[in-house]
Structure 1
Amino acid sequence: MKQKSKRVRREIRTAWVFLLPSFTGIFVFVLLPFLDAVRRSFFEAMGGRFVGFQNYRTVLENDAFLLAVRNTGRFILVCIPLLLLLSLLFSLMMQHKGDFFKVSFLIPMAIPVASVALLWKIFFHNQGILNHLLIKLGRQPTDWMNTDYAFLVLVLSYLWKNIGYDCVLWLSGLSSIPGSIYEAAAIDGAGEFKKFIYITLPGLLPTLFVAAVMSLVNSFKVFREAYLVAGAYPQNSIYMLQHLLNNWFISLDIQKMCAAAVMLAAVFVLFILLLHGLNRNEVEE
């Protein structure tokens, strides 16, 4: 018994030795900068004078911030449900397909962001491929990136880039559901629809939590494509929070940037906790 206890303690110490570099990196490069941002959000950037919640009030009254929040919220509400639904549909179709077909969905993730931005420019530029096709069909060309169509272009870019990643998550969840459950349901006379409703969907609830969180994280990365295609001040419909924070950083509005970042982090954490709570309740039921 003592030998087993010593072995367990030794394994725990070994695990901590391997985890220590990662924890150190997180503490130095994530936690400390975030705590510094929280501190700066309560002070003036130049004079260092404590101003309390004044920076937060200034940010909440800023028209550009309100526009960015609306656009970011609309983008998330449109893209994440659409991505989860489409990726689940493709995963069900790919479940029994070959590996090449599955890997092909991951190709967009392997393409560098700069190449993706160039691809969208080629397609959606005023003199691009899409307008050239419209002219050939006798239609009027459209200024895709300087009208409300820019939002649809950004949604398309996000879905194309991330659908493969979510497909991998769904396929992993599907493979974890025992086949014996489906066989027993088939013996009892259950059809494909009932199998999906009563077996597949409940079995995918843990995967739904992971896929939703990762889709949310990846939705904030779409700024790279938007910035490379449309610049720092794009059409209003795709002016996101990342544009705003980037512009505040360039203009050295550190106090406003830190206040906005803290509020964004708080909303992000609350959203994840909400998803976690819903997932836990569903699993317990």
Structure 2
Amino acid sequence: MSVALTARAAAEGATTQRAGAPGAPAQRRGMPGRRRLRYALTVAVFLLPSLVPLLAFVIGPMLSAAWTSLHSWNLIGPMQWVGLDNYAHLLTDPATRDAFLHTLYYIAGYLPIVYVGGLALALALNARLRGRAVLRGVYFLPVITSWVVVALVWRWLLSPSNGVVNSVLAWFGIEGPGWWADPAWSMPSIILASAWKDLGFVMVILLAGLQSINPDLYEAAQLDGAGPWRRLVSVTLPMLSPSTFFVIVLSLINGFQVFDQVYVMTGGGPNNSSQVIVQQVYDLTFRYGQAGMASALSWLLFFVIMIVTLVQFAGQKRWVNYD
């Protein structure tokens, strides 16, 4: 009797399942959809505190600058539509060309100094030295110091008349240059101050890369008869390539946006010898009342940085070793 009842119940269940088969897949599809919606809302709630500032202070100003770049505006009167005239003017303006060349000059001088200096400090502080933790903090201190303070100190150190650097050179019978007051030395002065400030940051990045290298590689190289220089070239630098890539990308982006030290030390002078892109954006906006032109120049700088960064990421496969 029980066997018959069980068989009958199974048959009724099968019939019910066949009868409700068309609705069952819809129900199964509905449940994951609700879960996905709930998951998306949960993620949105957690991202909201960071999304609001991103929209308000990054994406919003970028879109506003793009719209302003298509107008002529003096920050006071109403905007006047000019289309792409601002871009056409900037691309043919000698002042824009000179500002880009000065920016490239700064990068060409700054990047090798800050990398080689940071690598030398990282190699020295990676060794077993007494008080190396204190030394790391001392070398990193300029990184967290305000750029205004650093620039004012270096402006005083490199003062042509009573600066410390020229006074020391005078003790050895050497006549010091005009530094930031001389058109030929204004950009080297800015490069020197910038490299000094950022050495600690590059040192920390490269030091972290050095500490992640397997010591067995150095032992194997030493057993093969490799000296210190060969170990540096064949082991350290290849294994340090990811950190090097990060430093180069970040330094190039910051180099194209150099402004604070230029503004404080030289103001773009003398005779526009240290006028860089961001300084020109500032002057166009607040000195000459050409906010539309300044916005267009900002977008040109954005495209240049984006292209340079994409080229670096495309070429990293040839020399960056992540193994």
Per the alignment, residue 111 of structure 1 pairs with: 145
Per the alignment, residue 144 of structure 1 pairs with: 179
Pairwise CA distance, 1:232: 5.7
CA contact (8 A) 1:65 1:241 kept: yes
Change (3 A) 1:141 1:280: closer
Per the alignment, residue 60 of structure 2 pairs with: 32
CA contact (8 A) 1:233 1:243 kept: no
Give, in whole Å, the separation in 2 of the partners of 1:42 and 1:86. Answer: 43
Larger mean CA deviation between 140-149 and 208-217 belongs to 140-149
Change (3 A) 1:204 1:137: closer
CA contact (8 A) 1:150 1:237 kept: yes
The answer to whether structure 1 residue 167 and structure 2 residue 203 are counterparts is yes
- CA deviations on 1:112-136 (whole Å, 9 max, x unpaired) are 2232233123222223333444555
Partner AA of 1:55 in structure 2: N
The answer to whether structure 1 residue 212 and structure 2 residue 248 are counterparts is yes
Give the alignment's TM-score, normalised by structure 2.
0.75
Give the alignment's TM-score, normalised by structure 1.
0.84
Superposed, which structure 2 residues align to 1:182-201 within 5 Å?
182-201=218-237
Residue aligned with 1:38, SS: helix
Give, in whole Å, the separation in 1 of the partners of 2:38 and 2:133. Answer: 41
Pairwise CA distance, 1:230: 2.4
The answer to whether structure 1 residue 129 and structure 2 residue 157 are counterparts is no
Give, in whole Å, the separation in 2 of the partners of 1:140 and 1:283. Answer: 45
Partner AA of 1:54 in structure 2: D
Counting aligned pairs with the same residue, the percent is: 28
Residue aligned with 2:319, SS: helix
Give, in whole Å, the separation in 2 of the partners of 1:131 and 1:197. Answer: 37
Change (3 A) 1:14 1:63: same
CA contact (8 A) 1:232 1:247 kept: no
Residue aligned with 1:239, SS: coil
Per the alignment, residue 94 of structure 1 pairs with: 125
Superposed, which structure 2 residues align to 1:1-285 within 5 Å?
17-45=45-73, 48-96=79-127, 97=129, 98-125=132-159, 126-133=161-168, 140=175, 142-147=177-182, 148-220=184-256, 222-231=258-267, 233-250=269-286, 251-283=288-320
Residue aligned with 1:261, SS: helix
Pairwise CA distance, 1:182: 2.5
Across the aligned residues of Structure 1 and Structure 2, the Cα RMSD in angstroms comes to 2.9
Q: Radius of gyration: which is bigger?
A: 2
CA contact (8 A) 1:124 1:131 kept: yes
Larger mean CA deviation between 88-97 and 181-190 belongs to 181-190
Give, in whole Å, the separation in 2 of the partners of 1:76 and 1:48. Answer: 35
Partner AA of 1:199 in structure 2: V
- Matched residue count: 279
Pairwise CA distance, 1:139: 5.4
CA contact (8 A) 2:257 2:277 kept: no
Give, in whole Å, the separation in 1 of the partners of 2:257 and 2:185. Answer: 20
Give, in whole Å, the separation in 2 of the partners of 1:184 and 1:24. Answer: 53
CA contact (8 A) 2:187 2:273 kept: yes
Partner AA of 2:69 in structure 1: S
Pairwise CA distance, 1:83: 1.6
Give, in whole Å, the separation in 2 of the partners of 1:12 and 1:203. Answer: 40
Per the alignment, residue 3 of structure 1 pairs with: none
Partner AA of 2:299 in structure 1: V
Pairwise CA distance, 1:49: 4.5
- CA deviations on 1:137-170 (whole Å, 9 max, x unpaired) are 5555643222111221111101101011001110
Residue aligned with 1:177, SS: coil
Give, in whole Å, the separation in 1 of the partners of 2:214 and 2:42. Answer: 35
Gaps of 5+ in 1: 1-8
Change (3 A) 1:64 1:133: same
Give, in whole Å, the separation in 2 of the partners of 1:195 and 1:15. Answer: 48
Q: Name the structure, 1 or 2, with higher relative contact order (CA <8 Å, separation 6+).
A: 1
Give, in whole Å, the separation in 1 of the partners of 2:171 and 2:42. Answer: 67
CA contact (8 A) 1:150 1:235 kept: no
